Amino acid sequence: MEKRIKRLRNWISSLKTKLPLDREKVSTLVARKLEDNEFFLSAKRVLLFYGLDDEVDTRQIIQNACSKGKIVYLPRCKKKEELFTIGRVNSLGDLEKSSYGIMEPKQNMHRDCSVEDLDLVILPGVVFDTKGNRIGRGKGYYDKFLKKTGKKTKRIGVAFDFQVVEDVSGRKHDEPVDVVVTEKRIIYVKKQGRSLQQKKSR
């Protein structure tokens, strides 16, 4: 299983270098779909992430969520413990580059929300499948974090469409998402083995 996951990560990594991709344009399409999603629209407390260079650019999403009055949080990594805490931000100006090269909430940005109270978690992944399964970068930061969220907390994975495959299931510790949003479609995952819906762009 682990060899298969490693091959998937390597394959996606190779696609990122080979496929012609206008990151800014595609990220804007992802942002539009996400911001029109009912889970995003209804959420008050939202955990977002600052996209790395090979991920969807989320700066527009962060800024729009703040301007719409949502209470926005971003992860702050603790590398030694391989986990993260969350810090509230009111704009992109509340972020700084950590010693790991990741944009995070400044140290003085307080957290006034328990993880269980989050309405929505928006997260990246290396690979998603059409059943909502997710493969990350291998450290398990999000898997550990998602286990602490409340039962009502929705999870949306955002990715480029080529990062979505048919099936990556099989690892018990991987935490799934409820929705996957790409520039081409929105995949609503149905639980208990039921069918899923896909809304594609025209």
Query: DSSP letters along 53-79, please?
Result: TTS---HHHHHHHHHTT-EEEEEEEET
Number of domains in the chain: 1
Q: How sure is the predictor about 169, in pLDDT bands with cuts at 50, 70 and 90?
A: confident
Q: How sure is the predictor about 11, in pLDDT bands with cuts at 50, 70 and 90?
A: confident
Amino acid at the residue 155: R
Q: Distance between CA atoms of 39 and 153, rounded to whole angstroms? A: 10
* Domain with 14 in it: 2-200
- For the domain that residue 24 is a member of, what is the CATH number? 3.40.50.10420
Q: Which position has the higher pLDDT, 113 or 121?
A: 121
| Nearby residues of 152 by Cβ (< 8 Å), 6 or more positions away | 119
Render pLDDT for 42-95 as a digit per residue (tens, 0 to 9).
999 999 999 998 899 999 999 999 999 999 999 988 766 667 889 999 999 999
